[in-house]
Structure 1
Amino acid sequence: MVGHFVQQTVNALTIGSIYALIALGYTMVYGVLKMINFAHGEMFMLGAYAAFLALSLMVGDVGSAGALALTVAFFAAVLATGFVGVGIERLAYKPLRSSTRIAPMLSSLGVSLALVAAIQILAGPQPRAFPSFFPNERFEFFGGSLTTIQIGILIASFILMGGLQILVTKTRIGIVVRAVSESRATAQLLGINVNRSISMVFFVGPLLGAAGGILYASYYGVMTPTMGAVVGLKAFTAAILGGIGSIPGAMLGAFILAAVEVAGTALLPIVSFGTLGTEYRDVLAFAILILVLLFRPAGILGEPVSEESMVYKREF
């Protein structure tokens, strides 16, 4: 019993850390532009394909890539995806900033479909085997097991999440981005380059999403052009659960969602006497989204928005 609990905890932490990296992109964009970027899940997918392409160009046979090639491919892929995110913002979202909120959201849906179609044309629609970015060794403890792949994913994810927290709270860039999120008009009057700040958000968010995509593909050993669809929606659910617009909330929501998903995967066949299998675990994630929207739309760490606060923050 203890070993089973330990194993499920390790699995939840591993999956939750990947969800958190993606959820942070959703919450950052919403925090600054009050926009849901539905193309963010495709940044997750692009990260995996960009890393695969980089490895192919460097070593040919991706399965024989060494530690140096894997490291270079990781950083090249996340940086390239970050710049793609900036380009998408400039072309598809910036011209619509003065429009209603629905316009950029619909634009993001179009970008999402276009990216999936482009990858299907260029790389093919079939799944591809993805190399592990970490050595695969297993350690037994307390009746459970922990692999070096899981250790690597946890370390990489927490370094990236910690780096983002430092960037937002301790640096000038973070102060500027937070000022823009409070009021773009006021920030512009204070001499802040609003466009550059928004570009930074669209660079960092896709960068983290791409890192999540590489870690996810490395963990499961496969990548597909549509891998960002369901995982992206789960990360969006995590951002809503924790409180969209809140960076700590996105992280918290991701780990809670992963814990529910892992526990549900283990318990569904038992409580349903075999009627429901592990394939129904996605239902739990979207059930959580519905419940949160019904009973606490602001999320766990989000701030409820009242009419008075909307009037107070309105830009005249």
Structure 2
Amino acid sequence: MDVLTFFQQMVNGFSLGSMYALIAIGYTMVYGVLRLINFAHGDIMMVGAFLGYTFMEVFQLPFTLSILLAVVVSSLLGIFMDKIAYKPLREAPKISLLITAIGISFFLENAFTVFAGGVPRAFPVPSYMENVINVANITFSISSITVPLVTLVLLLGILYVLYKTKYGMAIRALSFDIKTVNLMGIDANLIISIVFALGSALAAVGGLFWAINYPSVEPMMGVLVGLKAFAAAVVGGIGSVTGAVIGGFIIGFTEVVVIAFFPELGGYKDAFAFVFLILVLLFKPTGIMGEDLEKSRF
């Protein structure tokens, strides 16, 4: 493989990794606060993509407005999901929360299969998102540039909220001890709702970008992507927002670059994320950024 092809694959990996990173941040934030692996998170990504499709294709709304509405509705869905399914189980064993998360995941997948059908639908990508820029014989689509930039901006926004606002301070305090936070007069349920809203919004953004780059939507689209994003969160150190982004980029680069070097392994590309996850856990079980999580989360 020549140098030009290598850099082209690096661009592709950067874009793919950004989408994994957006979804992985939601996983890691919910885990950091509740010690819950929210396996319905990947399906929130699917819901966000379907909402964007519906607003554009059915209601004929502009692209930007459709994206904003899809993100807002997905955030509200995350809050509703917490209120209905997780809040009543705050004091229950963690396995109950985990089983509930799996149940919500199945419910969303089957509900959308019943109402939307299981056949993939073409996502209406704006023509300007498909424009191609050529720099030194390396091609960039507008979407492949937009995804990493949006990921960076959202990461900085999340870090600002966590470290520079009172709500962020409350989130970090909540990650250590919910009962103590309640005794200090902080509404823990409100803070948890904010965490679910932020995580669901990021998942929706990731789902919309996925639908733009791989222009179709279908009810099962969030299953494998969600698992890879979870792997990215664990690789980066689950509980660390920065680690989730690093893990997303690593999984994205691994998936793209390995196939570029070994095209004959293209049929096994989905396995690379989990092979890398196993290797990381063998040598660093806490993940790349997970060493000091008991002292400082997020």
TM-score bucket (shorter structure) = over 0.9
Equivalent AA in structure 2 for residue 262 of structure 1: V
Q: Which runs of 5+ in 2 are unaligned?
A: none
Matched, 1:71 2:64: yes
Which of 153, 161, 178 aligns to 2:155? It is 161
- 1:288 corresponds, among 253, 273, 276, to 276
Are residue 12 (structure 1) and residue 13 (structure 2) matched?
yes
Residue 140 of structure 1 aligns to a residue whose secondary structure is: strand
Match of 1:128 in 2: 121
Secondary structure of 1:182's partner?
coil
Shift of 1:158: 2.0
Q: What is the DSSP-based 3-state SS (H/G/I as helix, E as strand, rest coil) of the residue aligned with 1:103? A: helix
TM-score (norm 1): 0.89
User: 1:209-248 residue pairs with structure 2 within 5 A?
Assistant: 209-248=203-242
The question of 1:37 aligning with 2:38 is answered yes
Contact 2:57–2:124, Cα closer than 8 Å, also in 1: no
How far apart are residue 293 of structure 1 and its match?
A: 2.8
1:147 is aligned to 141
Larger C-alpha radius of gyration, 1 or 2?
1
Q: Deviations over 1:56-113 (max 9, x none)?
A: 3432xxxxx6xxx111100100110111011111111111111111110010000000
Unaligned residue ranges in structure 1 (runs of 5+): 60-64, 311-316
- Distance (Å, rounded) in 2 between the aligned partners of 1:6 and 1:268: 16
- Which structure has the higher relative contact order (CA within 8 Å, separation 6+)? 2
Match of 2:91 among 78, 81, 98: 98
2 CA distance for matches of 1:148 and 1:226?
Answer: 26
Give, in whole Å, the separation in 2 of the partners of 1:56 and 1:8.
32
| SS of residue in 2 equivalent to 1:302 | coil
Q: Any conservation in 2 of the 1:38–1:108 contact (CA below 8 Å)?
A: yes
Distance 1:128 1:58 in 2: 16
Residue 299 (structure 1) aligns with: 287
CA apart distance, 1:291: 2.2
| 2:244 pairs with one of 229, 244, 250 | 250
Corresponding residue for residue 110 of structure 2? 117
Give the TM-score normalised by the residue count of structure 2.
0.94
Q: Cα offset for 1:124?
A: 0.6
Counting aligned pairs with the same residue, the percent is 41
CA displacement at 1:304 relative to structure 2: 6.2
Q: Counterpart of 2:80 in 1: which secondary structure? A: helix
Q: Within 2, Cα distance between the matches of 1:288 and 1:43? A: 25
User: Aligned-pair RMSD on alpha carbons?
Assistant: 1.5
The number of equivalent residue pairs is 293
